[in-house]
Structure 1
Amino acid sequence: MAGKSSEDYWNTSSSASFNFDDDTEVEKAFSNSCEIFDSTASDSVFGSNIEENNAQTMLPMHSLVTKRNLDTVLDDVRIPTHSSVPLVQETITKMFLGMPYTLYVYRSLDQKLELLDEAVATEDGNIILTVLLYLKKTLKLTVLYHNLLKRKIALEHYTNYLMRELKLEELADFYMVTGNYSDIVYLFYLGCRGTVSTESMHVKLLRFLAEHQSKLDHDKNVMFTDYKNFLKWQMDSKMTTNSVVEQLALLYKSEAEKKSDNKSIMAFKQTFKISDFQYEWIQLNVLGVLKQWKKITELFIKPNWLTKKNSIKTVIDVELFISTLYKHNPPKEIVEEFLSCVVDSDISIGLAKKMKCHKFVIDAYIAQRDRLSILNYKNNIPNQSEEYFYAENALRSTDKKWKN
């Protein structure tokens, strides 16, 4: 260092790491975050375009930071940190507002369940279903099913989705895995089979009974066994209907069109333990579709020797029976014949008003000597119609003793 000033030494020494007069170039080198350094190259340097008469030699990166430490820094940059995962509430809010979002940053089971709980809290079906489909895609189904059992609302959305999309085999598997024997009735007994073949459903039901029969109570055990037998009967008979009731309707329609006896139908009813309600419901609707009104009255209207008045003989609620009959557009006199069999006049008059059986209503009020009710009801009858004149004639009659 002899003969040189301290300032000369720092400005000319070949061992100097940086020239402090070139601060701007140093800042430029470190601020260029997009530049990629090859950590394996032994001659990596900070680039510099300093145009000076005496170019300065730049030191290799490895002389400043060891390769091992540099790799550690770069690895840390490449690995997402926990802080890069947004809060679940923030993501759900974005979904609610229609903003861009991603669910794939939530990888742990706890995060996914929190996501589901927050989605349910929004009471938004689209958000709930979106989260459910993400969980379905990223979790084992047994894990998903186990956690859905603890979340009734989410479970309902999931099963409704499977029904709506006709993913019925998937729904059957869900019910089997979770032991939801009450709901599985909907699939197996009521016949919501969609495109699933009879053979496939029969095999699935056999497997279900083999695994779960011991857990079923007596009634459900009998029910599933009967349905298994029905599927076997379908395969043997080469029938493709979805349910016992639908099959009975098909048989009854065939017999009614041929006007043959009902022996085969009664045998079917007994074999598959079809209730009287189901049987009579099918009779009413099939005959209604075929417009066989006389047959309907013969089956369901019987004389009552005690009251000297006809009555409706059915296990179906009378109001439901007449309302269902009316939906098949029978002649008005057929409807009135059934209305006249109803014991409760309030019920019969109420039904007659809904079905616009105006003459029946007028006659009922005449029987009650209720002139005021006829006067009021006349406003509901089309002017100049036959029923309108019928009401006016009743009001002008002098041989009736009115109570009002």
Structure 2
Amino acid sequence: MEDEDDFWEASDVKARAINFEDDELSSHQFSKLGAELRANLGNNSSVGLDLKSPSQNDDLIPLYDIISEQAMENILLADSGKYPAGSVQVPLDVIEPNISITLRRLVLGRSCSLIHHKSLKSKTELLDGAISIGDGNVILMVVLFLVQTLKKKLVYQILSSRPIAVNHYISYLTIRMKIHEVTDLLTMLGRSGEAAIKQYQIIMESSGSSVDVLLNKLKNLAANHFGQQTVEPIQLKMLTDYIKLLEWQKSLGVVEIENKSVIQSLAHICTHHCSDSAGKNLSPQSLQQQQQIGSQQYDWTTLSIQASLKNWNVIETMFIKKNFLGRTTLSCSVPIPKVIARLSEFEAEESLLAVYLNQMSSSSQKLELAKKFKAYRVVIDCLVSQKDRQALTQYKMALHPQSDEYFYAENALRASTIKWKN
């Protein structure tokens, strides 16, 4: 039978101080208690314990009102090295604590030492019990106890069939930024692809703002871990693209975009270099091509930045085109309702809202959005096209008297060329 010393590291356990909240007492504690009791008893069996202040020493509680005579006899026997008749003489310090008692103490947050669980069977049952309870803190405490007292290979063997415990331990190691421990554990469990991603996450969280430091770490990660077959191609592409972004940021020497995300970098150059033509290092189009930014994400970022700067002419130039027949078309890949809402948020001119509204194929949706975002002329034109005189009259009454839109609605109602349906 394999020696149990191969399973765990030996450790000296000091005797605990007597704690009446504990469920069990060690032999040393029994001895100490027995000596104190004998000193108090002396030759007088009627001596009691003094539970009152010094001025009240006359009234003593009999000892046997607190502890039974049989229990006292057993304590004194244990102290003398003897045991009650018929008992099995097993030293108390080799008896492992009850698993359920230990788990209950851990769940309740009471002081509890796990060191007395020495056998592999006891430790494994302790972990399985913690998992069955479902308390993450208890699971982690038991796992850390296994790590401290068992060989690493054996710990990994135990964890390999207990994914819940693995996840708690990985989360703990990740929070502590223990990158090598996470890598070893996941690699040992056959999850090297996940180990590479975890390393990437930890590097991103712990490298600070230095582009040079981050670049070196990511290049080493790509060379040593992301070339494995277990890493998904899309994950490798993600890392490669980010390294390219950092190299581009470093080459520019612009402090404001160092170690920033792709979108943050795009927002910066849209703000300060929007007029740069494609091909220039700081043009938005060049960054889009280099990082393969999707058209919707690119258009939304560009639109938002220019709207926040109230560059309405730039927006018209970028997203509104006219063909040779003079017809207006939109080149923005963002859905029209979202564009209108965004422009309205930054208080765009009504004429610009009208351009987008008039590109909508659904007249009912166009009318609804025009009312919502107060594009008055578009609302009036919609009601005129529907030949709804009553609705237009009601809408005119809601407008500010003597305003431009009020007169625009009134002139429409007076038009003799319109054949109203009501």
Contact map agreement 2:143 2:165 (CA 8 A) in 1: no
Structure 2 SS opposite 1:326: helix
Which of 195, 202, 216 is matched with 2:215 structurally?
A: 202
TM-score (norm. length: structure 2): 0.58
Moved more, 337-346 or 137-146: 137-146
Q: Which of 64, 70, 84 does residue 101 from structure 2 map onto?
A: 84
* Amino acid aligned to 1:299: M
1:287: which partner in 2? 306
Percent of residue pairs bearing the same amino acid type: 22
The correspondence for 2:321, drawn from 278, 295, 302, is: 302
User: Which residue of structure 2 lines up, in the alignment, with residue 211 of structure 1?
Assistant: 225
2:243 is matched with which residue? Answer: 228
- Residue 313 of structure 1: how far off its partner (Å): 0.9
| CA shift digits 1:60-118 (9 cap, x unpaired) | 99996684446968836997444533559x94xxxxxxxx6449678846545654564
Pair 362,137 (structure 1): closer, same or farther in 2 beyond 3 Å:
farther
Between the aligned partners of 1:246 and 1:111, the Cα distance in structure 2 is: 49
Deviation at 1:340, TM superposition (A): 2.0
Query: How many Å separate the matches in 2 of 1:402 and 1:363?
Result: 13
2:27 aligns with none
* Separation (CA, whole Å) in 1 of partners of 2:183 and 2:409: 60
Deviates more, 1:179-188 or 1:352-361: 179-188
Tell me how far 1:300 sits from its aligned partner: 0.5
The 1:84–1:206 alpha-carbon spacing in structure 2 relative to 1, beyond 3 Å, is same
The answer as to whether partners of 1:369 and 1:400 remain within 8 angstroms in 2 is yes
In the superposition, the TM-score normalised over structure 1's length comes to 0.61
**Counterparts of 1:181 and 1:357, CA distance in 2:** 54
CA-to-aligned-CA distance 1:182-206 (integer Å, 9 cap, x gap): 9879969xx8889464344334433
1:259-281 deviation digits (Å, cap 9, x = unpaired): 44443323333333333333323
Match status 1:277 vs 2:292:
no
Indicate if the aligned counterparts of 1:301 and 1:312 stay in contact, CA closer than 8 A.
yes
The answer for unaligned runs of 5 or more in structure 1 is 1-32, 52-59, 92-99, 120-126
Matched, 1:402 2:420: yes
How far did 1:234 drift?
A: 2.9
Q: Taking structure 1 as reference, are residues 36 and 205 closer, same or farther at Cα in structure 2, changes over 3 Å only?
A: same
Q: Compared with structure 1, are the counterparts of its residues 393 and 316 closer, same or farther at alpha carbon in structure 2 (3 Å cutoff)? A: same
Matches of 2:144 and 2:300 in 1, distance apart?
Answer: 44
Give, in whole Å, the separation in 2 of the partners of 1:324 and 1:385: 29
Aligned with 1:251: secondary structure? helix
Cα pair 1:276 1:315 within 8 Å, conserved: yes
Which is higher, the Rg of structure 1 or of structure 2? 1
Preserved CA contact (<8 Å) 2:127 2:139? no
Deviation at 1:377, TM superposition (A): 5.2
* Segment of structure 1 superposing worse, 329-338 or 140-149: 140-149
Cα distance in 2 for residues equivalent to 1:62 and 1:102: 26
Structure 1 residue 297, shift from structure 2 partner: 0.5
Q: CA deviation at 1:288?
A: 1.6
Q: Secondary structure at the match of 1:37?
A: helix
Alignment match, 1:252: 270
Q: Is the 8 A contact 2:211 2:250 kept in 1?
A: yes
TM-fit CA distance, 1:139: 6.7
The number of residues matched between the two structures is 331
Task: Return the alpha-carbon distance in structure 2 between the equivalents of residues 224 and 311 of structure 1.
Answer: 38
**2:358 aligned to 337, 340, 350, which one?**
340
Cα distance in 2 between the residues matched to 1:342 and 1:233: 40
* Whole-angstrom distance in 1 between the partners of 2:335 and 2:263: 19
Q: 1:118 to 1:339 in 2, by over 3 A?
A: farther
Q: Does the CA-based 8 Å contact 2:396-2:409 persist in structure 1? A: yes
Residue among 30, 33, 37 paired with 2:34 = 37
Note if contact 2:130-2:142 (Cα within 8 Å) is conserved in structure 1. no
- Structure 1 Cα separation of the partners of residues 268 and 346 of structure 2: 18
Structure 1 residues 230, 318: CA separation in 2 closer, same or farther (over 3 Å shift)?
same
Q: Kindly indicate whether residue 69 of structure 2 is the aligned counterpart of residue 47 of structure 1.
A: no
- 1:281 and 1:117, CA in 2 relative to 1: closer, same or farther beyond 3 A? farther
How far does residue 336 in structure 1 lie from its aligned partner after superposition? 1.9
Where does 1:82-121 land on structure 2 (aligned, <5 Å)? 82=99, 84-85=101-102, 91=107, 101-102=109-110, 108=123, 111-112=126-127, 115=130, 118-119=133-134
CA contact (8 A) 1:193 1:242 kept: no
Which amino acid is the alignment partner of residue 273 of structure 2? Answer: E
The answer to whether 1:315 aligns with 2:315 is no
- 1:211 Cα shift? 1.3
Shift of 1:224: 1.9
For residue 252 of structure 1, report the CA deviation from its aligned partner.
2.6
- Matched position secondary structure for 2:328: strand
Q: Tell me how far 1:36 sits from its aligned partner.
A: 1.6
Match of 2:18 in 1: none
- Give the corresponding residue for 1:364: 382
Q: 1:374 to 1:234 in 2, by over 3 A?
A: same
Please state how far the C-alpha of 1:343 moved relative to its aligned partner: 3.4
- Aligned partners of 1:357 and 1:399: how far apart in 2? 24
Deviation, 1:355, is 1.5
Question: C-alpha separation between the residues in 2 aligned to 1:341 and 1:391?
Answer: 22
Stretches of structure 2 lacking an aligned partner (at least 5 in a row): 1-29, 47-72, 118-122
* Amino acid paired to 1:229: K
The 2-side partners of 1:235 and 1:139 are apart by 46
Which residue identity lines up with residue 75 of structure 1 in the other structure?
L
Q: Would the alpha carbon gap of residues 139 and 297 (structure 1) be closer, same or farther in structure 2, given more than 3 Å must change?
A: farther
Task: Work out whether residues 38 and 44 of structure 1, in 8 Å CA contact, stay in contact via their aligned partners in 2.
Answer: yes
